[in-house]
Amino acid sequence: MPHVQTRSSASAGLGFSILFAVAFVASSFLTRRVEMAGAGFTELWPAGGLPIVWLLVRNSRFVGIDTLLLLAAAFTANLNTGSEAEIAAVFAVANVVQSWLAVLLLRRWCPDVWHCGGDRALDSPKVVARFGAALILAIGIGTALASIGAVLLPATGYDSFDATASGLWFGRNLGSALIVVALGIMIGQRVTAPRPRPRLRGEDAGPAELLAATVFTVFAYGLAFSFDELPLAFPLLAATVWFGARFSTLLSAAHSFVVGIVTMMLTLRGIGPFAHVEHADVGFMIAQFYIATIAVTGLAIATGRDERQALADDLRRAQEETAYQGSVRAAVIGSMTEGVLVVDEHGDLLMHNEAAARVLGLGDQLTRQTRFALSSWTVDGVEMTAYERPSARALRGERVDGELMVVKVVDVGDRVLTVSAIPLPRDEVNGRSRAMVLMRDTTHEHANRQELAAFAGVVAHDLRNPLAAIDGWTEMIADELGAGSLDAQMTQEFVSRVRSSSRRMRELIRDLLAHATSSARDLDVSRIDVTAMVNEIAVGRAATGFVSATSIPLVLGDPVLVRQVLDNLIGNALKYVAPGEEPKVVVCGERTDARLVTIEVLDDGIGIPEEDRARVFDEFHRAHYREYEGSGLGLSIVRRIVNRHGGSIEAHPNPAGRGSAFRFTLPAYDA
């Protein structure tokens, strides 16, 4: 049962004590009519537990005042029920002593209970047992005090205070204390408990059942008290059991309280099974013990049920918590983009997420078998044995941190994975070691890295060539100058060679930059009139007579990049012509698809050998590297830009017979 231990249950004020004292005295007025001749005290004593509740609730700040007040109230109450002054004083002292004793014992034995040091209700049979024991001991001592006092007082003539009278005093006080103190604690705890408060009815007992149990109680008691010659008290316990088993402890205690009062009232009127014992006071005593019995029985059953309920609640909460934790874990692992696998030493797959299946190219068929069917390689192309796999190494206790490996996936090809593997704590229940494997598909990154390395190699090579030429020519200038044989014509010749080399370097650097920016730049698309753009390019290249454009549908693209495409293609078409021939370039286009415009750049130049046609788009690939200058980057830039616009490009022979045709697509403007 969830509860916050607030050890500082506020103690009530002095007004509270006065109220209790008045109630205590008033209750004696109600019951004075039933004082039994001779005993000097009343048998009906519903207020018997009141002083204990009073002292419990007041805590111990005003011990003196409360003790005096209680003494006075008890004296008055005893006088009121017909006792002589001396015997009333003895009983009052016994009352005060037993009440204080009960309070001290309750604080010691039930420190978690409301106003005994904690804030809990009577909520387990163990607590009820301690509660009952405290009251029995305290009231037992009070009874002994009252009995000894009454017998020792010579003048009063209470020689009738015998064992039965002691038993009556004990039974009367115990029955009342068990019910009134229990009820006081249950009500007080409930009223001061934080909301929402527990239901009064049990988990599944409805109002109809409450009505049925009440009707049953009335019926059973009616029956038992009607046939009063027969000892029919025992079936009455069934009502107590019903309330204890099915309703809250508070309702069960209230039930005991009501039937206790009814039992006593009827017994005093000479009605019912307890009234027909030979000696009336023995009958009362039995009735008192009967009440004490139902009080304890009711409390024990109800709190036992509470305890079971609390355990069941705890269990349910724990299960819910576990399920919640599990769902969080599943959501986190499921949403990871990294593949996660947990394997054991037998190779069994204990857990995996969707990303793992995806990374390994296995869709939803990731099992122990499919995993082992994959072959693993190092990036250097050496096949790994099962022993060398990262998972196997982690199962042996090694930590693998972000290593590259290649997995050969059927129908998909090679995948380069970055794999980490971590040993997990051993599963002691099943006696196996476990490891977690984390994998990321780094195929593209790996390819990019390799491409970059190759690119850097070619760049270094291509830049070194013109630089070497510049070095060579300037050295010759220096040599000739040293020999004194450098004339103006030679100088002219050498300088023009140097300038041509430096121009080649500049162009290469420009192309490299364009290549780098063609993929880095964000696309900024707008409407493009390709026909007009072709004409502008022709003007820019001083080639208006060689370039013609038929009307081409509008396209949607990044004007800067599309201009780069057209400029490269037109530049090549003008460049790759046989020496001495005039170039002729035609650019045309049409809508070939709901979304696309196909544009063609046709020339009648030297054409591209068939084996080079697909490869001219690769970086640095040149089909005519001997006769024509160039970097080999132009078409790779063109393809990249076209691809980024969602289009494609191909090289074909010119259908008109001679030269090439570059055919590419771009998004139509109105699509």
Minimum CB distance to ligand ADP smaller for 439 or for 573: 573
Answer whether 61's CB lies under 8 Å from 16's CB.
no
Question: Per the structure block, which two tokens stand in for 625?
Answer: 């590297």
Ramachandran area for residue 316 (φ above 0: left; ψ -120 to 50: alpha; else beta):
alpha
Minimum CB distance to ligand ADP smaller for 444 or for 626: 626
Answer whether 232's CB lies under 8 Å from 263's CB.
no
CB of 588 to ligand ADP, least distance (A): 15
| DSSP 8-state code for residue 114 | B
Minimum CB distance to ligand ADP smaller for 419 or for 570: 570
Cα–Cα distance measured from residue 109 to residue 101, given in angstroms and rounded to the nearest whole number: 12
Binding residues for ligand ADP, how many (CB under 6 A)?
21
Is residue 616 near ligand ADP by the rule CB under 6 A? yes
Site for ligand ADP in 383-412 (CB under 6 A): none
Cα–Cα distance measured from residue 83 to residue 156, given in angstroms and rounded to the nearest whole number: 10
From candidates 624, 640, 644, 663, binder to ligand ADP by CB under 6 A: 624
Residue 505: count of CB within 10 angstroms of its CB: 18
Minimum CB distance to ligand ADP smaller for 177 or for 534: 534
Answer whether 509's CB lies under 8 Å from 499's CB.
no
From candidates 623, 640, 652, 669, binder to ligand ADP by CB under 6 A: 623
Sole window of 206-214, 345-353, 546-554, 598-606 interacting with ligand ADP (rule: CB under 6 A):
598-606
Cα–Cα distance measured from residue 390 to residue 422, given in angstroms and rounded to the nearest whole number: 9
Q: Could you tell me which residues are beta bridge partners of residue 668?
A: 555
Cα–Cα distance measured from residue 223 to residue 156, given in angstroms and rounded to the nearest whole number: 43
Residue 196: count of CB within 10 angstroms of its CB: 6
Answer whether 60's CB lies under 8 Å from 14's CB.
no
From candidates 99, 240, 418, 660, binder to ligand ADP by CB under 6 A: 660
Minimum CB distance to ligand ADP smaller for 202 or for 605: 605
CB of 540 to ligand ADP, least distance (A): 17
Is residue 422 near ligand ADP by the rule CB under 6 A? no
From candidates 635, 641, 642, 668, binder to ligand ADP by CB under 6 A: 635
DSSP string, 12-37: P-HHHHHHHHHHHHHHHHHHGGGBPT
Answer whether 257's CB lies under 8 Å from 184's CB.
no
Answer whether 90's CB lies under 8 Å from 152's CB.
no
**Largest alpha-carbon pair distance within the chain?**
161
Reduced to 3 states, what is the DSSP secondary structure of residue 313? helix
CB of 341 to ligand ADP, least distance (A): 45
CB of 359 to ligand ADP, least distance (A): 35
Give the H or E element holding residue 623.
Answer: none
Is residue 632 near ligand ADP by the rule CB under 6 A? yes
For residues 636 to 655, the per-residue mask of contacts with ligand ADP, x marking binding by CB under 6 A and - elsewhere, is x-------------------
From candidates 583, 605, 647, 667, binder to ligand ADP by CB under 6 A: 605
Give the H or E element holding residue 646.
Answer: none
Minimum CB distance to ligand ADP smaller for 105 or for 601: 601
CB of 530 to ligand ADP, least distance (A): 18
- C-alpha pair distances (Å), 62 with each of 24, 58, 119, 653: 19, 8, 21, 113
Q: Which residue has the tokens 């059927």?
A: 410
Sole window of 203-211, 300-308, 541-549, 631-639 interacting with ligand ADP (rule: CB under 6 A):
631-639
CB of 654 to ligand ADP, least distance (A): 9
Cα–Cα distance measured from residue 43 to residue 34, given in angstroms and rounded to the nearest whole number: 7
Site for ligand ADP in 515-574 (CB under 6 A): 568, 572-573
Instruction: Provide the total of helices (H) and of strands (E) in the chain, helices listed first.
Output: 18, 13
CB of 633 to ligand ADP, least distance (A): 6
Sole window of 334-342, 356-364, 488-496, 616-624 interacting with ligand ADP (rule: CB under 6 A):
616-624
Sole window of 395-403, 458-466, 540-548, 606-614 interacting with ligand ADP (rule: CB under 6 A):
606-614
From candidates 603, 641, 642, 649, binder to ligand ADP by CB under 6 A: 603
CB of 538 to ligand ADP, least distance (A): 15
From candidates 256, 631, 654, 665, binder to ligand ADP by CB under 6 A: 631
Minimum CB distance to ligand ADP smaller for 538 or for 635: 635
Q: What is the b/e burial string over 58-71, where b = at least 16 CB atoms within 10 angstroms of the residue's CB?
A: bbeeeeeebeebbb
Cα–Cα distance measured from residue 15 to residue 26, given in angstroms and rounded to the nearest whole number: 16
Reduced to 3 states, what is the DSSP secondary structure of residue 124? coil
Question: Per the structure block, which two tokens stand in for 433?
Answer: 């070691």
Is residue 607 near ligand ADP by the rule CB under 6 A? yes
Question: Per the structure block, which two tokens stand in for 662?
Answer: 């570059």
Residue 286: count of CB within 10 angstroms of its CB: 18
Is residue 583 near ligand ADP by the rule CB under 6 A? no
Site for ligand ADP in 211-230 (CB under 6 A): none
CB of 592 to ligand ADP, least distance (A): 22
Minimum CB distance to ligand ADP smaller for 48 or for 605: 605
CB of 375 to ligand ADP, least distance (A): 38
CB of 574 to ligand ADP, least distance (A): 8
From candidates 608, 649, 666, 668, binder to ligand ADP by CB under 6 A: 608
CB of 507 to ligand ADP, least distance (A): 8
From candidates 49, 283, 634, 667, binder to ligand ADP by CB under 6 A: 634
Answer whether 442's CB lies under 8 Å from 416's CB.
yes
Cα–Cα distance measured from residue 7 to residue 567, given in angstroms and rounded to the nearest whole number: 87
Minimum CB distance to ligand ADP smaller for 373 or for 614: 614
Sole window of 32-40, 196-204, 433-441, 615-623 interacting with ligand ADP (rule: CB under 6 A):
615-623
From candidates 88, 250, 296, 606, binder to ligand ADP by CB under 6 A: 606
Which residues bind to ligand ADP, rule: CB under 6 A? 568, 572-573, 576, 603, 605-608, 616, 622-624, 630-636, 660
